[in-house]
Every structure is written in C-alpha cells, then in structure tokens.
Amino acid sequence: MDRFSQGLPDPQATPNEPIDECANDSCQKDIFEGDKVWNYDGDLYCSGKCLAQALGAVEMTIEKGEK
Ligand SMILES: [Zn+2]
C-alpha cells in the first residue's frame, strides 16, 4: 500500500497548463507545451485543418460528376 502513501496528484497542481488555445474560434482546443501546432501569422492552430478553416477553406467531398 506504500504506493498510495503520497495520494493522487492534485489536478490543480499540474504543471501542464495550456499555454494557448487553438486560434480557430470553432475549436479553441487547449494547446500545451510539446504539442505540434501550426503557426500562422503568430496565431497557433492545433491542426492544419483548423488553420485551413480559419483562412476560409472548406473541407468538402467532390460529388460524382463534379470537379
Ligand atoms: Zn483547433
């Protein structure tokens, strides 16, 4: 039972605070130290998809017969 003597780590005391959040307003995912992010013009995005959305790109599927 020794391994429990120190108790569980306090989630409030975690050093792993988010340093920023995704600059995509519809995402705003927390960004932590060590995360891979996309930096565009000083704004951080959690993924290339978020960056593309923020720039106005829209993901879509090409329907048959379209191009
Ligand atoms: Zn995001």
Residue 18 is predicted with a pLDDT of 94
Ligand 1 centroid to 64 CA: how many Å? 30
Q: What is the pLDDT of residue 12?
A: 60
**How remote is the CA of residue 12 from the centroid of ligand 1, in Å?**
24
User: Binning pLDDT at 50, 70 and 90, where does residue 16 land?
Assistant: confident
Rounded distance from Cα 10 to ligand 1 centre (Å): 27
Taking only the tens place, the pLDDT of each residue in 21-31 is 999 999 999 99
Residue 22 near residue 31, CB atoms below 8 Å = yes
User: Which residues does 49 contact at the CB level (< 8 Å), separation at least 6?
Assistant: 59
pLDDT in tens, 44-56: 999 999 999 999 9
Which residues neighbour ligand 1 (ion) by CB within 5 Å? 22, 24, 27, 29, 46, 50
